[in-house]
Amino acid sequence: MCGIVGYIGNNEKKDFILNGLRELEYRGYDSAGIATLSNGELITYKAVGKLINLEQKCKDFTSTGFGVAIGHTRWATHGKPTEANAHPHIAEFSNVIHNGIIENYKELKERLEKKGHYFLSQTDTEVIVHLFEDYLNDGLDCFEAFKRTIGELRGAYAILLITKKEPDKIFYAKNASPLIIGRGEGGIYLASSDAPLMGYAQEVSYLEDGALGYIDLHNFSSLPNIKQLPQNKGYAQKEGFRYFMEKEIYEQSGVLLETMMGRVSEGKISFENLSADFFDGIGEITICACGTSYHAGMVGKYLLERYAKIKTNVVIASEYRYSSPVLREDELFIAISQSGETLDTLEAIKFVKPFGNKTLAICNVDNSSIVRECDEVLLTRAGIEKGVASTKAFATQVMVLWMLSTYIGSIRGNLSQKEVQKNIEDMVASAKRTEISAKMHEKIKRLSKRYLHGHGFFFIGRDVFYPLALESALKLKEISYLHAEGYPSGEMKHGPIALADSELFTVALMPEHLLYEKIKSNVEELSARDATICAVSALEFEGADDMLYIPSCSSYMEEFFSMMCALQLFALEIAIRLGNDVDMPRNLAKSVTVE
């Protein structure tokens, strides 16, 4: 996602800011900017696209002598990737950068506009600097104005603000988005990750949620949790995890909340840039995708038919346009892709467009080919995913489809307000269920050593847990190179059970709140034929050889997201024990741009 860097000191400020942003490129971005405040001058440069464009813009600029500086790489959530929407954002004499989402920015913006503030961007971030200066105009000092500003914000944020009124300080605030302050021989350094600080700072403070204050050259020692900074940049990018895939599994609780922010609040669901009338006249939906995105689409079918009451088809993109598909006039075509460049899916959209059907992209990358080709887009906001085997992209795709099905169900009157509120509560709880406990991860590490042989895996489940079984089998195949298949558990007796013996590992997804007794009987059929059973459930199952426990949940979707994480870790630990590079599995690419 977005990246933040800041600096206070006497060195050339542009060099550190650009170097720091370069270290954050791996997180993904679509625009970048820098602001310096020195000798009473507040100077800002912004550019769309890669950092080289920003470097070219400010190549003749120097900023020596004492001053402060901030820099940002933006990944669009509110407003398109344009120079006006890029950070830093300026009001009259102050400048701000921000990671995260301000949920209540619209009401704040309307209030400020009525007081005469003029906004240049479509972003949520710009309200921060205008609100800050509005409080200054009321006679407050800078720190009190900043505190009042932060007190009015709802959402997730890491914020850095500089102002001509206090040119030797950087004001900061953190809530649910990382922010680190470091000290080195050259001054004070700030960033949203360790990596930009390597080679500059020797000691750092990792700020906790709720942190709010200002930093100057003299008050670093008053910060909490000061530690020595490791100097391994690869380690820093992975933030202490062994692999990017492992880090991305752990990130899911945060990115799911970011997926929901600004869209789920006060008992209702709404989407930026997507109005209710877009769904007028829609009588059927076709979801088109490949691989992991296809599995997310299969989950979406269950949810759309259950909550929105719309007949939904799910098709594999590589097969779609060659099958002479018949489209109805009232059919909405939804394309799902992590990268937005998946050629099979892109060609399917191009096939559909001449028929005049409405098209909607569910994608992680704004301004990608699929996003540009579709009429509307719902961004998943997963951030860049470096591991080839998708984890958090799948989680956010499912969450968007769940929100979409609830939204359509609501606007069509198929869900009551009480039912919408229950779904929203379950969404928030589901995001929390993706927080990885050390106890569960350690259990999976120990369990994995028992599943390194045999002649294959069956992952089985029912309803939404069937596509999760498919996705879990795919994860294991991708990174361990072991044979694995996903099946609807009721289908085992219709042929696949012939393979059952002690060397067949069956991973049974057994949710307490959805068809538990049915799945239980299916698993008992396999157990009776000597298959090795690993049950994934919150309930003890006596027929299991191994239990992979998830926490007790109050809904089947909480169980879905909890099992998802457990099975991603299961695949990860098996692959690591087999000595594989889980981030770069053989023969696979992150963005498939060939048919």
| Token code pair at residue 592 | 């498939």
Q: Are strands 484-488 and 504-509 parallel, antiparallel or unpaired?
A: unpaired
β-sheet bridge partners, residue 453: none
| Token code pair at residue 430 | 């589901």
Beta-carbon contacts of 289 under 8 Å, excluding residues fewer than 6 positions away, are 296, 297, 314, 316, 317, 335, 336, 337, 342, 345
Whether the Cβ atoms of residue 34 and residue 14 lie closer than 8 Å to each other: yes
Phi, psi angle pair for 484, to nearest 5° = -150, 145
Q: How far apart, in whole angstroms, are the C-alpha atoms of residue 235 and residue 244?
A: 10
Contacts 24+ apart (CB under 8 A), 513-519: 513/553, 513/554, 513/555, 513/556, 513/559, 514/462, 514/463, 514/464, 514/465, 514/556, 514/559, 515/462, 515/463, 518/462, 518/489, 518/490, 519/460, 519/461, 519/462, 519/465, 519/489
Matching residue, tokens 């396999």: 526
Report the chain's C-alpha Rg in angstroms. Answer: 25
Q: Is the peptide bond before 88 cis (omega within 30 degrees of 0)?
A: yes
| Options 2, 288, 534, 565, the catalytic residue | 2
Q: Are strands 456-461 and 504-509 parallel, antiparallel or unpaired?
A: parallel
Q: How far apart, in whole angstroms, are the C-alpha atoms of residue 94 and residue 129?
A: 7
- The letter for the amino acid at 278 is F
| Token code pair at residue 110 | 């309307």
User: How crowded is residue 12: how many other Cβ atoms within 10 Å of its Cβ?
Assistant: 17
Q: How far apart, in whole angstroms, are the C-alpha atoms of residue 382 and residue 185?
A: 36
- The letter for the amino acid at 477 is K
Q: How far apart, in whole angstroms, are the C-alpha atoms of residue 49 and residue 51?
A: 7
Whether the Cβ atoms of residue 256 and residue 399 lie closer than 8 Å to each other: yes
- The letter for the amino acid at 573 is E
- Is 142 an active-site residue? no
- Is 2 an active-site residue? yes
| Options 57, 432, 443, 590, the catalytic residue | 590
Q: How far apart, in whole angstroms, are the C-alpha atoms of residue 373 and residue 68?
A: 42
CA 515 to chain CA centroid, nearest Å: 30
Structure letter (DSSP) for residue 49: S
Q: Is the peptide bond before 230 cis (omega within 30 degrees of 0)?
A: no
Whether the Cβ atoms of residue 546 and residue 451 lie closer than 8 Å to each other: no
Runs of H (alpha helix) within 217-326: 233-238, 244-250, 252-260, 291-303, 317-320
Whether the Cβ atoms of residue 84 and residue 76 lie closer than 8 Å to each other: no
Beta-carbon contacts of 583 under 8 Å, excluding residues fewer than 6 positions away, are 243, 244, 245, 386, 387, 388
Matching residue, tokens 């993109």: 317
Write out the catalytic residue numbers: 2, 590
